[in-house]
Amino acid sequence: MTQVQLDQTRLARLDDIAVAQSTSREAIINEALDSYLNDVSLLHAEVKAGRDSFTNGKAVPNEEVERYFSAKRADLKRMVVRK
């Protein structure tokens, strides 16, 4: 078991949500914590995949990315001018 201290503002917000959802503080906290942990786990997995890709030589050089987006911007400008 872990205890968490909440200031009155957070506690009031938590209670408002719990009442609105007809559930308990504990359920709201557990749902929020699960969501946070899932988000952080996904982020870490994506960062690791990116690092692994870079390590394996699958990175795209910055100059190539800049050229690509520069060309896309130029295409968009031409489309806007035509209209």
Encode pLDDT of 20-44 as tens digits: 999 999 999 999 999 999 999 999 9
Task: Quickly tell me which residue has 């872990």 as its tokens.
Answer: 2
- Residues 56-66 have pLDDT tens digits of 988 888 899 99
Q: Quick one: CA dihedral 68, 71, 77, 82, positive or negative?
A: negative
**Tokens encoding 50:** 């990116």
For residue 83, the model assigns a pLDDT of: 60
Considering the entire predicted model, what is its pTM? 0.63
Output the CA angle 29-48-2, nearest 5 degrees: 25
Residue type at position 50 = G
DSSP assignment letter at 60: P
Q: Where are the domains of the chain?
A: 8-81
